[in-house]
Amino acid sequence: MALWRIRATVDDRPGYLSVLTASLALRGVNILSVQVHTTEAGAVDDFLVDAPEQVTEAELRAAVERGRGRDCWVARSEARGLADEPTRVLGLAGRLARDPEATGAALRTLLGADTVTWRPTPATAPGGVGGTTMALADPSGGAYELCRREPSFTPAEYARAQAVVELAAMLARRDTERVTLVLPDGGE
């Protein structure tokens, strides 16, 4: 068996997700996890699946299209993809608690971004998602810009990323507000 990530948009109507999953099942695909991101274009369904070794990317894409999916993106995945999203995000929060300066790396890990750039000036369109580019306002000033080739970012991913940026800024403020006074006798 082989692990794959599949992302596709379906109409946000009763039964449409089941049509898509039935089409995948006909190819012997086992769905291990699914996240649904609500967007204006419909429900963006993000699957982690286990497919027979002989099933190709093109066959998975065709199964999605037969299942009424559109704007399909398919990519091989790794076993670490089996960790559920809350576990991954809590791990990133712990990383930020130890090192608030790791915000860019945390964003890259969270969203699979190809590039994360911090700029000292506010985002030109603060708080926005535009296909494969995302702009995040940094509460400490400036902005982060994230880019990835595919798939397009969703509003849910934007909300997660902005929460990570806000957590990192809060942790950095906390660290700078913490002062240790050393007394003449060496006590703190």
**Do residue 160 and residue 133 come from a single domain?**
yes
Over residues 126-132, the mean pLDDT reads 73
At 123 the pLDDT is 60
Average pLDDT, the chain: 88
Q: How far apart are CA 171 and CA 78, in angstroms?
A: 31
Q: Do residues 11 and 75 share a domain?
A: yes
Which pLDDT score is estimated for 186?
80
**72 and 129 share one domain:** no
Average pLDDT over residues 62-84: 88
Whole-number pLDDT of residue 90: 87
pLDDT at residue 58 greater than cutoff 60: yes
Nearest to 133 by CA among 114, 119, 106: 114
End position of a domain, from candidates 48, 81, 114: 81
Residue 15 pLDDT more than 60?
A: yes
Model confidence at 33: pLDDT above 70? yes
Residues 134, 122 share a domain: yes
User: Same domain, yes or no, for 49 and 109?
Assistant: no
140, 108 Cβ separation under 8 angstroms: no
What CATH number does the domain containing 19 carry? Answer: 3.30.70.260
H helices, E strands: number in the chain = 5, 8
* Residue 81 confidence (pLDDT): 64
Mean pLDDT of 176-183: 70
Contact 151, 7 (CB under 8 A): yes
pLDDT above 70: percentage of residues in the chain: 92
Domain count along the chain: 2
Tell me the average pLDDT across 158-183: 82
Looking at per-residue pLDDT, the higher value among 126 and 57 belongs to 57
Instruction: Tell me if 63 is assigned to some domain.
Output: yes
Q: What percent of the chain has pLDDT over 90?
A: 54
Is 156 a member of any domain?
A: yes
Q: Is residue 99 part of a domain?
A: yes
**Is 34 exposed, middle or buried (CB count within 10 Å of its CB: 0-12, 13-18, 19+)?**
middle
**Which of 39-43, 97-101, 122-126 shows the lowest per-residue confidence on average (mean pLDDT)?**
122-126
In a domain, 187, yes or no: no
Band (pLDDT 50/70/90 cuts) for residue 100 is confident
Residue-range definition of the domain harbouring residue 32: 2-81
